[in-house]
Structure 1
Amino acid sequence: MDERTGPRVARWLRDQHHDVVSVYEDARGLDDADVLAMAVREDRILITNDTDFGERVFRARQPHRGVVLLRLADERSLSKVAALKRLLAHHAADLSGSFVVVGEASIRIVRP
């Protein structure tokens, strides 16, 4: 999970029994290329609200194991958790290797 997603979201995911590495907690200041490379190395899906990862995946063609981009008007932790609850309830099996854009009322999944 990238730095901007925040520690509350990381705690919620851990409470749901997900194995989470939070850049905010463990590697603050890491640049985006290194965050994505770390996620690939550790075979992790990256959760972010930073659109730069879309550029890295689609234009620069950087490898990834899955990216969840939270595109929310309300970026408070409660909104992020609500969006992730909805995503995991309906699309958990679709995340690996996909680029997923989650909005308040939509989920778009792009598979390689």
Structure 2
Amino acid sequence: MKLLLDTCVWGGVQTKLVTAGHDVVWAGNWSEDPGDEEILATAYREGRILVTLDRDFGELAIVRRMPHCGILRLVNVNSRQQSTVCLQALTLYSDELVSGAIVTAELGRVRIRPPDDTR
């Protein structure tokens, strides 16, 4: 699966996801943070699911209707748990994410917002 990790996601998550066979880019490796809009646009252009801790991406996708290829938001997950929660969500909800859903995952709880058919 192709993923783009937001700058707020711990960089060590990239290593774990690559080891699990995913194609991963971490925005933290970029020379500068281009901001949320450009991060979401880059993920879309490259066909990547965005992984973030930031709730602002939901507003960009839902309210401002910016196109995306799926968003996985990790909530209340410390850096040591991010890899585990991310891998579990990708395993269990890959079909939903690939279809453009917004998946919000925390320890013991997942919410899924299906893609908006009116895009």
Q: Tell me the TM-score normalized by structure 1.
A: 0.91
Confirm whether residue 110 of structure 1 aligns to residue 113 of structure 2: yes
2:53 maps to a residue whose letter is: N
- Quote the residue 1:13 is aligned against: 17
Where structure 1 has 5 or more consecutive residues not aligned to the other structure, the ranges are none
**Equivalent residues, number:** 110
2:59 maps to a residue whose letter is: E
The 5 Å alignment of 1:41-60 reads 41-60=45-64
- Quote the residue 2:75 is aligned against: 71
- Quote the residue 1:29 is aligned against: 33
**C-alpha distance in structure 2 between counterparts of 1:88 and 1:42, whole Å:** 18
- Deviation of 1:93 after TM superposition, in Å, equals 2.2
Q: CA RMSD in A?
A: 1.3
Where structure 2 has 5 or more consecutive residues not aligned to the other structure, the ranges are none
Instruction: Tell me, yes or no, if the aligned pair for 1:2 and 1:23 is still in contact at 8 Å.
Output: yes
**C-alpha distance in structure 1 between counterparts of 2:92 and 2:102, whole Å:** 15
Superposition misfits of 4+ residues, deviation over 3 angstroms? none
**C-alpha distance in structure 2 between counterparts of 1:92 and 1:99, whole Å:** 11
Percent identical pairs in the alignment equals 31
- Quote the residue 2:95 is aligned against: 93
Instruction: Tell me, yes or no, if the aligned pair for 1:45 and 1:95 is still in contact at 8 Å.
Output: yes
Q: Tell me the TM-score normalized by structure 2.
A: 0.86
